[in-house]
Amino acid sequence: MRRAVAAALSVMVAGLFAASPAWAQRKAEPGNFDYYILSLSWSPTYCARDRNGPDPDQCGERKHGFVVHGLWPQYTDGSYPATCTRDRNVPKAVVDQTMTVMPSVGLMMHQWRKHGTCSGLTATDYFAKLRAAAAKVAIPDPLKAPGPTVPAVQVERLFLEANPGLTAEGVAVVCSRRDVSEVRVCLNKDLGFMNCGQKVVDRCRDRDAALSAEVAPAQPRTFNAAPAVPALPPAPAAAPTPLR
């Protein structure tokens, strides 16, 4: 029995590795990538759903709307480079300049370590690029601050209308359950609009998904009691959206 179980588990593990998602992060040479994703985070959803608790900078008294979550070097096959060097230093002057578009010191440090070090730029130049990308993408007037609820299907349309040259293939709306959490815009290395590569797609499955000023915190999941005799795990399902 043990040999049979071990053999079955070995097959399952091999299947998991064979089915590794194409968007998986990987080591790479700094500057060796295809294009950027500008990730714009909707603060009400982020502040309500962040698993580490609300960020005191982004989620304080001032009510932010869309802010920059990151500027990510990306490959067209859907994968992306990550943590390309050990550089951890972001000058204070750069932090101060960037707070207007990315109001979280902790987020800046994380984004520089994981994504900025793969850009081939210094921290100063990377965050200057990030601010330029934020200036390139216009936030639609109805979405500049938390206000009336807007259906997720209209969020993309409003971004297309506010940004001439941006196409439906160059933007993706991401949801956390029924709430819009993020808009991703694909940019070439010169920050021009372009079509996104693989795996950068809309991720709002609920027809009633919407962008709202008031977002309920995620409810803790409940689990059934474990069976007396453990069963073999089922075949691997489609991988979820990676956390970045």
The CA dihedral of 56, 159, 24, 210, to the nearest 10 degrees, is: 70
In a domain, 3, yes or no: no
**For residue 127, what are the domain limits?**
35-211
Please tell me which of 20-34, 214-228, 230-244 the model is most confident about, judged by mean pLDDT.
20-34
- Compute the distance between CA of residue 3 and CA of residue 74 in angstroms, rounded to an integer: 43
Q: Tell me how many domains the chain contains.
A: 1
In a domain, 84, yes or no: yes
pLDDT bucket at 19, cuts 50 / 70 / 90:
very low
- Compute the distance between CA of residue 38 and CA of residue 183 in angstroms, rounded to an integer: 8
| Average pLDDT taken over every residue of the chain | 84
In a domain, 12, yes or no: no
The CA dihedral of 215, 53, 50, 56, to the nearest 10 degrees, is: 80
In a domain, 54, yes or no: yes
In a domain, 44, yes or no: yes
In the chain, alpha helices (H): 2-18, 43-49, 92-98, 105-114, 123-136, 152-162
Question: In this predicted model, what pLDDT tens digit does every residue of 187-235 receive, in sequence order?
Answer: 999 999 999 999 999 999 898 999 999 888 866 544 454 444 455 555 4
Predicted local distance difference test score (pLDDT) of residue 27: 67
Comparing CA positions, the residue from 201, 185, 204 lying closest to residue 193 is 185
What CATH number does the domain containing 54 carry?
Answer: 3.90.730.10
Predicted local distance difference test score (pLDDT) of residue 220: 53
Does the global pTM surpass 0.85? Answer: no
In a domain, 190, yes or no: yes
In a domain, 242, yes or no: no
**Terminus-to-terminus CA distance in the chain, angstroms?**
41
Predicted local distance difference test score (pLDDT) of residue 26: 64
